[in-house]
Amino acid sequence: MSLTRRALSHTALAAAALAAMPAAAQPGKPKSKPRPIVIAHRGASGERPEHTMMGYRLAIEEGCDFIEPDLVVTKDGHLVVRHENEISGTTDVAAHPEFADRKTTKTVDGTTINGWFVEDFTLAELKTLRARERLPKLRPGSAAFDGKEPIPTFQEVVDLAKAETKRTGRTIGVYPEMKHPTYLAMAGLPIERRLAEALKDNWLNTPTAPVFVQCFEVSPLKTFRMLSGARLIQLVYSESGPADRAGTLYVDMIKPDGLKEIAAYADGIGPEWSQILPTGADGGLAAPTSLVDDAHAAGLMVHPWTVRAENYFLPPKLRRGASQADHGDVEAVYKALYAAGVDGLFSDFPALAVAARG
């Protein structure tokens, strides 16, 4: 090959390689921002009882990217999906006379609660219960589906995500939350290793797998980092602090120095959405805080929770209709969060979040 032809060949190869590169990696081209993900908060929980297979299926049909199962542990060591380990509000356990003597009072993360607790039931016993709507006055349409489905296991939710990925041709991820891990460890049912093993068994234990693991506590996330390669999200709140960190406040954790500390063990934060979009003096949405920019500067993703459509959950200026259960201008919240640069968001109404994303 002549020198001229060799030079032309190298030029062509370089041009082809450049064309094959993602736009974000090409010299001189602006970095493209990935599309924000829509996380179905406990399923399509504005329309079906939370943490039910029907709720997850509906959320997937509505176009979500991830489905969120909150995880607690049964007496015999199984990961099951409930928002809280106390289940009187989300199941029909009170209607089961065979379990009347299981009602008790416990202190969970400093709060005294009377009811029935997952850790006092075997998986087989829990499977005899049926799920119900937690907010029936706000969501009577969802309450119409009370009693139709049992409590799912985490594996059942993972299997659904896999099957729906294959059926729809798009990746459906899972976004589990470790609930009350310090409390569960004290009860002899630590959750971290159980979840890490479940992710490993399902090939979900790498940074590129379609999974995020979230928690409001700090030490369990640090422990989990040593057990799995899955991406981790530190949840934060506008009040109080982590149950495992006496004296630490969430508001301090989301200051620039606190975000740098989170970045040492987690991949992102999950703040309350109002920590990004506060309510202004006029009752509408105020300008975004610096939280998204501060988190990004620390190398953290931002996935705020939880956008709900009912007037009860919206700033006064966005409310529509006379009832707290009526839907307000929730589209304004979705669009403002996307415009603020969030990397994803949690929604009880995945279809609305997907539509607002465009």
172 with 67: CB under 8 angstroms?
yes
Q: What is the CATH code for 38-357?
A: 3.20.20.190
- Output phi, psi for 18, to 5 deg: -65, -40
Output the pLDDT for position 21. Answer: 39
Q: What is the 3-state secondary structure (H, E, C) of the chain?
A: CCHHHHHHHHHHHHHHHHHHCCHHHCCCCCCCCCCCEEEECCCCCCCCCCCCHHHHHHHHHCCCCEECCEEEECCCCCEEECCCCECCCCECHHHCHHHHHHCEEEEECCEEEEECEHHHCCHHHHCCCCECCCCCCCCHHHHCCCCCCCCCEHHHHHHHHHHHHHHHCCCCEECCEECCHHHHHHCCCCCHHHHHHHHHHCCCCCCCCCEEEEECCCHHHHHHHHHCCCEEEEECCCCCCCCCCCCCCHHHHCCHHHHHHHHCCCCEEECEHHHCCCECCCCCECCCCCHHHHHHHCCCEECCECECCEHHHCCHHHCCCCCCCCECCHHHHHHHHHHCCCCEEEECCHHHHHHHHC
- Bridge-based pairing of strands 177-178 and 70-73 is parallel
Output the pLDDT for position 31. Answer: 61
Output the pLDDT for position 198. Answer: 98
Q: Could you list the mean pLDDT of each consecutive 10-residue stretch along the chain, which spans 358 residues?
A: 38 39 44 88 98 98 98 98 98 98 97 98 98 97 98 98 98 98 97 98 98 98 98 97 96 98 98 98 98 98 98 98 97 98 98 97
CA distances from 241 to 195, 245, 290 (A): 24, 7, 20
Domain boundaries of the chain, sorted by first residue:
38-357
Cα 310 to chain centroid distance, Å, stands at 19
In DSSP terms, which residues pair with 305 in a beta bridge? Answer: 272
Tokens of 48: 């079906």
- Could you list the active site residues? 41, 83
Output the pLDDT for position 328. Answer: 98
Q: How far apart are CA 207 and CA 317, in angstroms?
A: 41
Output the pLDDT for position 137. Answer: 96
